[in-house]
Structure 1
């Protein structure tokens, strides 16, 4: 993985906007309780998990801990709540300093590039989960998929042990890079 911070910031912004595109009112209305490919989440719970990712990562980019009063539950629909958070996230990670040093992220401290790449992974893989659950087609740019595949490979053993990734699934012979990535994380692609 040789992407520069500028390239990673661009990938993160595109992954966030891709997620936002799949959280429109027309796509989510009436689907709150549908199951998702993530066994622990229905559509609403996954949307709240993604809310947490958007909030936490925005603060991580600024090298700040998440404040106690930061939103953790959706008090507004995702199509209302997510756009300002996506804008804040993209702007925060566009700062060169966001990619330097270490940053607080998910109850620990990590190298900033790792936190940014984990964010790209969360937005992409869970974006696919949300799209799939709500009957939407999901695509991701090849460079985004390559970054996610690289970070997923780094964390796979721990992620499987924690239940964040399921057992690897055999992808179809003609699987796309995105489908191969999803199979690696334990998702069954129809």
Structure 2
């Protein structure tokens, strides 16, 4: 089967995830700017999570530009990714509501770690189904970025119990690493 339905469904789920995140931000009472101060941590959490959802949407889009067909295993791998991403509004809200306390920051890191694992599983399932000579296999010769991301998420989770703000900087650093869509895939598309 082709990838079109999977892509459309995934786009819809990601749009709903972003909508849920923004709906979690309650409008404060009061008309002066000081009324916004209590929601600053939630807004910062929202910005980082919005960027993450955008990164996953962008890389998912690029991934499915080189994938020609899907099977049941790929559909389940994609659903696992969407499940992990669907937990981001919860971990984002908890972290922002509790002003980046250690446990919420750790849970956020675990959530990001699981999302990264799920995306790797989706990539590997796609390569397995499409074959060793597929464009995707050629593009993803190494998993250096993925491995570094997992390492930084893991370090962030551990560090959250000592210096939560450093964990947030690590999470933001991984987002910066992935902000530009995966050039490995773009290079393969242009050859």
For Structure 1 versus Structure 2, the TM-score category normalised by the shorter chain is 0.3 to 0.5
Structure that is richer in strand per residue? 1
Q: TM-score w.r.t. structure 2 length?
A: 0.39
Structure with higher Rg: it is: 2
Structure that is richer in helix per residue? 2
Q: TM-score w.r.t. structure 1 length?
A: 0.39
